[in-house]
Structure 1
Amino acid sequence: MLHGLPRKIRTAFMLQALLAGLAVLLGGYLVLLVVKFGLVNALLKQEAAHYWELYQASPVQPPPNTSNVRGYLLEAGQSPLSLPPALRGLAPGFHEVGDADELVLVDEKPAGRLYLVFLRSQAQHLAFWFGVVPVLLVLLAVYGASWLTYHVSHRVVSPVTWLARRVSQWDPLYPDASELAPERLPADVQGEVRQLAGALHTMAGRIGDHVARERNFTRDASHELRTPLTVIRMASDMALGAQELSPGLQRSLQRIQRAGRDMEALIDALLILAREANIEPQAEWVEVADVVRYEAANARGSLAGRPVELEVHVAAASPLRVPPQVLHVVVGNLLRNACNHTDSGRVDAYVEADRVVVRDTGIGMSPEALARIFEPFFRVEPERRQGHGLGMPIVHRLCERFGWRIELESEPGHGTTVTVRFARDAGQPDRGVDDVASP
């Protein structure tokens, strides 16, 4: 979120101010208790001690009667009816009476009991000056400090917020970092934020240059690679049209034609991978079984001289809307890998309604090799001359590009099973079941 950092800072300061306010209120409440049970109690005890000293000097000394304290003396043997009703049942000690508005100290001596009442108005006055006023002052100080700190923090964070807002508005495919040019940065963007803006400006420029180079390379490479392939195909077509060709030469020319078509399909697939993800390639309805049969016929050429049987089994019609060259590259790589790593036994390709399964009885793979099979240039047996370790990474990238799921099961010495599950379009045509098995 663009404003996540300022919001977090604001929330932190509000929480800090709230907790500080609660702490101050608790402290104020404790101050009120101290005023009531500490300060007033101590004052009344001093007042009582002073009175008894005067009483010993002159028994006719009247109880204290000032603007703060009212005193009542109940001499030994006298009836408590002479006292105010609220004081008659009080035992010696410190008491709150009158709904906790009056504080009373009852001090007992052999001569009698002295009742000292701290007046309500004075208790409230002390509570206000020693409790409420300090609490308000501390609260104002806490909130003022919090506001000032938040204001300073907001000014410090505002350049980061500005930078995050600008970066979030970039197009990931074509990042425009012109606003982060040093001469266009706001004056308050300084220090580490200015260094970060400069680094992002440089990085975005390099990304833009890289995207442009990749786009130009894919366009130029497709043109330059298609030109010699077209020449090869035309020359092989003309050669096949010649009279009196030997069977071996005809097979060689046909293999050249198939290899040229495979190379064109691979170039198209690589160009699709190089395009941006939001640009959909041209697609058409393709029968998966036809593609599997075609690629199986090509793969049989690599089995010459080896006791390996390659068969295609079609359980159901499987129309798929996809660029045909992509499906050719995926199926062709899987079949060629299976044939190249099977010295004897079988390679079977199964076509079902939503998947293609290629199973072989070849050398298989260990769990370590299975985990690395999609890494570029990784080869299960480097000593084998076939392949360069790029087929499976290309297959994996194409499957990801079109939302297909590729699954592998393998065990050393017991072969490998590769399953490609297709992501279906809602508008696929309704087709009947095709042939059950086809060599």
Structure 2
Amino acid sequence: MPHGLPRNIRIAFILRLALASLAVIATVLIASTVVKHSLIHTLLQEEALHYWELYASSPAQPPPNTRGLRGYLVLRGQSELSLPEELRGLGPGLHSIGRELVLVDERAPGRLYLLWLGPQAERLFFWSGTLPLLLCLAVLYGASYITYRFFRRLVSPVSWLARQVAQWDPREPDTSALAPDRLPKEVQGEARQLAEALHGLSQRVATQVARERDFTRDASHELRTPLTVIRVASDLALAGDLPPRAVRSLQRIQRSSREMEAVIDAFLILAREADIEPQSEDFDVAEIVLDEAQSARDLLVGKPVELTVVCNAKPRLHAPPRVMHVVVSNLLRNACSYTDEGRIEVTVDSDQLVVRDSGIGMTTDAMRRAFEPFYRVDESRQHSTGLGLSIVHRLCQRFGWKVELDSVLGQGTTATVRFVP
């Protein structure tokens, strides 16, 4: 799990540590700078007070001159030319010259210049700033490392559980590692409860999937048997001498049985896994469109609606032919159901199939929901189940086709199936 919970925790700790380090460094630097200036200022003031006390008892007392401190005295009325050039012109108070600090203390006898040398200031800065900073950072890093190891141990059972689930085969998940008697000792508390729940859930899902597969297989077999009987019986009946009306009825029965077989095949295809290829063959789209248009004309009996088919090309596709039967049949049934007068035109081009009607049309919101199962534009039309476009959409997705809708309320709808994405 390169992008899992441990990595996120590690990144969070690194960011937290970086921000905390910046805050500590800034705080210690500011504090040490303030401490350095205030402490040196206090020391220089005390040194100046001590010198003036000595000067009061003996004016011949020389200014301080040690390894870390230089003193200069300019009596009142004397010139500042005896001072180093960088000290000339400084007024009373504390001054910073490069790495050195200078205190100018003025009294009645004159001015005392006390110069705190840079190395001494740097050593003071180290002891009052750098060393505390290093100690703070060491404590911070140590505490963060211990905390990180603690949290890592806390989330390790969750990470282990996530890795186990990620290795499952969706079709046949192996959940034996999540069995209660096989869980590692470190998987305790909520993680153990989650593992046991996932183990039970996966077993129920596997049972349900097996039950659905059995049902799909059995239902397919049981539905095909009566359809075969109907088709054979209608074939035998058509072989006899029958009146034209009976012949037309038997032909409609045969077309309906073929349509039902196509629907069963389509449902079986949708029920299979996506990586299981159905039996496919090359077929002529125009032939299927003409056949389905002939069946759709029976739905327009008594309606002032004209159905025409225009074949500008004869594209051939490689897929189960009955899938295209279901797609065309549902598009034509929708067009016939929602068109009360006018015309329905089916156009076959080299890369697409277009079904255009002059029916009631759809609003923008209806077009967005048109592919939802059981959604109907007009609830008053009881013959519509709301499944047709949903089935068309799922079948087109399954075989890499693209179905699009374009509609104007009150003017009609155009459905386009593009064979080339």
Match of 1:407 in 2: 404
Question: What whole-Å deviation, never above 9, does each CA across 1:109-157 have from its counterpart, x for those lacking one?
Answer: 2323323344555434422322222111111111111111111121122
Within the candidate set 348, 351, 366, 1:354 is matched to 351
- CA distance in structure 1 between the aligned counterparts of 2:192 and 2:406, rounded to whole angstroms: 52
SS in 2 for 1:279: coil
Corresponding letter in the other structure for 2:267: L
Q: Counterpart in 2 of 1:301?
A: 298
In the TM superposition, 1:384-395 aligns within 5 A as 384-395=381-392
**Bigger mean CA deviation after superposition, 39-48 or 73-82:** 73-82
Structural mapping, 1:33-432, within 5 Å: 33-64=33-64, 69-76=69-76, 92-96=92-96, 100=99, 102-119=100-117, 122-242=120-240, 244-423=241-420
Alpha-carbon distance in structure 1 between the residues aligned to 2:365 and 2:123 = 84
Q: Which moved more, 1:18-27 or 1:113-122?
A: 113-122
**Corresponding residue of 1:437:** none
Tell me if the contact between 1:289 and 1:317 (Cα under 8 Å) persists in the aligned partners. yes
Residues 159, 188 of structure 1: 8 Å contact kept: yes
Q: Distance in 2 between matches of 1:76 and 1:385?
A: 116
Output one character per residue of 1:357-403: Cα deviation in whole Å (capped at 9) or x when no partner: 12223333444444433333333444445343322222222112112
Structure 2: how far apart are the matches of 1:392 and 1:225? Answer: 23
Task: Tell me how far apart the structure 1 counterparts of residues 50 and 369 of structure 2 sit (CA, whole Å).
Answer: 96
Superposition deviation, residue 422 in structure 1? 1.4
Q: Structure 1 residues 48, 395: CA separation in 2 closer, same or farther (over 3 Å shift)? A: same
Gaps of 5+ in 2: none
Task: Tell whether the 8 Å contact from 1:3 to 1:161 is kept in structure 2 after alignment.
Answer: no
TM-superposed CA distance for 1:277, in Å, is 0.6
**1:402–1:423 Cα contact (<8 Å) kept:** no
Task: Name the SS of the counterpart of 1:211 in structure 2.
Answer: helix
Aligned equivalents of 2:96, 2:286: Cα separation in 1 = 99
Equivalent residue of 1:374, what SS?
Answer: coil
AA matched with 2:256: A
Change (3 A) 1:116 1:381: closer
Counterparts of 2:377 and 2:80, CA distance in 1: 109
Distance apart, 1:289 and its partner CA: 0.9
Amino acid at match of 1:5: L
The separation in 2 between residues aligned to 1:227 and 1:118, in whole angstroms, is 109
Does 291-300 or 51-60 show the bigger shift? 51-60
| Unmatched 5+ stretches in structure 1 | 425-439
Query: 1:64 and 1:359 mapped to 2: Cα distance?
Result: 107
Shift of 1:226: 1.0
> How big is the alpha-carbon RMSD for the aligned residues of Structure 1 and Structure 2?
2.7
Q: Summarize the Cα distance change of 1:31–1:389 in structure 2 as closer, same or farther, 3 Å threshold.
A: closer
Q: How far apart are the structure 2 equivalents of 1:200 and 1:270?
A: 30
Alignment partner of 1:23 is 2:19? no
Q: Which amino acid aligns with 1:300?
A: R
Task: Select the structure with the greater relative contact order (CA < 8 A; seq sep ≥ 6).
Answer: 1
Matches of 1:290 and 1:78, distance apart in 2: 121
| 53 and 383 in structure 1: CA distance in 2 versus 1, 3 angstrom threshold | closer
Aligned to 1:4: 4
Once the 2 structures are TM-superposed, how far is the Cα of residue 70 of structure 1 from its aligned partner? 4.6
In structure 2, do the counterparts of structure 1 residues 345 and 16 end up closer, same or farther at CA, with 3 Å as the change threshold?
closer
Inter-partner Cα distance in structure 1 for 2:145 and 2:230: 78
Higher mean alpha-carbon deviation, 72-81 vs 175-184, is at 72-81
CA shift for structure 1 position 103: 3.6
Give the match's secondary structure for 1:305.
Answer: coil
Identity, % of aligned positions: 60
Q: Which amino acid aligns with 1:4?
A: G
DSSP-derived class of the 1:347 partner: strand
Q: Shift of the alpha carbon at 1:86?
A: 6.7
TM-score normalised by length of structure 1: 0.86
Q: Deviations over 1:13-51 (max 9, x none)?
A: 222222333333333433442344211111111221222
Give per-residue Cα distances to partners, 1:190-209, cap 9 Å, x unaligned: 23323332332233222222
- 3-state DSSP of counterpart to 2:113: strand
For 1:132, the aligned partner's letter is: T
* Contact kept in structure 1, 2:327 and 2:392, CA below 8 Å: yes
**Structure 1, residues 42-65: CA drift from partner, whole Å, max 9, x if none?**
111122122223322333344345
CA distance in 1, matches of 2:317, 2:66: 105
